[in-house]
């Protein structure tokens, strides 16, 4: 026994280690994308509900110049 590792065995070990690290990163990023999609789905749902409950605005247009301004029952 010389304490040496054959080149094919060493290359395989490095390849396995690199592959496992890449797979781990892939799973982490996949989980992050999934969690972000949940947030975005909730946000979209919230915005849809908010749009339904928002007050409806009329089509009233104001004149270019105000003719009169009144103040009634003002307390000093």
The DSSP line for 19-51 is HHHHHHHHHHHHHHHHHHHHHHHHHHHHHHHHH
| Confidence check: pLDDT of 69 > 90 | no
Whole-number Å distance between alpha carbons of 16 and 23: 10
Q: What percent of the chain has pLDDT over 90?
A: 67
Whole-number Å distance between alpha carbons of 57 and 2: 86
Whole-number Å distance between alpha carbons of 25 and 11: 21
| Confidence check: pLDDT of 5 > 80 | yes
Match 């094919």 to its residue by tokens.
Answer: 8
């Amino acid at each position: 026994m010389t304490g040496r590792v054959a080149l094919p065995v060493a290359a395989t070990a490095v390849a396995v280690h690199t592959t496992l690290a890449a797979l781990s990163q892939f799973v982490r990023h996949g989980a992050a994308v999934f969690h972000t999609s949940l947030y975005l789905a909730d946000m979209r749902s919230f915005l849809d509900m908010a749009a339904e409950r928002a007050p409806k605005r009329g089509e009233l247009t104001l004149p270019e110049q105000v003719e009169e301004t009144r103040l009634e029952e003002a307390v000093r």
